[in-house]
Amino acid sequence: MVTSAPPPSPAALASALRTSVLRLGRRLRRHAPGDLTPAQLSALSVVRREPGVTLSGLAEYERVQPPTMTRIVEALVVRGLVERTVCADDRRVARLHPTPAGRDLVDAVRRRRDAYLATRLAALTDDERAVLARAAELLDRLGEES
């Protein structure tokens, strides 16, 4: 008779998941351009996903102070990856939009990261990929704001 081990405690599972997610994140960051900081790439990705976001909205989303986000966005503007447009209704508000180069860069990074993961996933069994598919759903739920 085969008995299964008891499930880990929430604290033990939290530690294991945190370590695994951080390690995978580090591996994926290697597939990003070396001349962009992780904060710049993250902000650019949000602007790509949410064109027209305001600077304060982006700062809130990225959970940084507005002066920090101003510096991040300025670096992206200088590189030609993001453009600011002044809001016609309130000239104090600037909307952020990715440039074609910014969109292309985010898309290329996503493709490289997906290709890296797809290669790694191809080495797993069908059952292991099914477990990870379910885990991805659960990780999404864990990441939702409550």
Strands (E), 7-93: 53-54, 82-86
| DSSP secondary structure string for all residues of 11-26 | HHHHHHHHHHHHHHHH
Of the listed ranges 74-78, 89-93, 117-121, the one predicted with least confidence: 89-93
Predicted TM-score (pTM) of the model is: 0.80
pLDDT: is 78 or 90 the higher one? 78
- Give the model's pLDDT for residue 69: 95
pLDDT above 70 for 47? yes
Q: Do residues 67 and 114 touch, judged by C-beta distance below 8 A? A: no
* Token pair recorded at residue 141: 């739920």
What's the pLDDT band for 2 if we cut at 50, 70, 90? Answer: low
Burial group, residue 96, by CB count within 10 angstroms (0-12, 13-18, 19+): buried
How does DSSP classify residue 123? T
Query: What is the tens place of the pLDDT at every residue in 113-138?
Result: 999 999 999 999 999 999 999 999 99
Helix (H) or strand (E) holding 28: helix 10-29
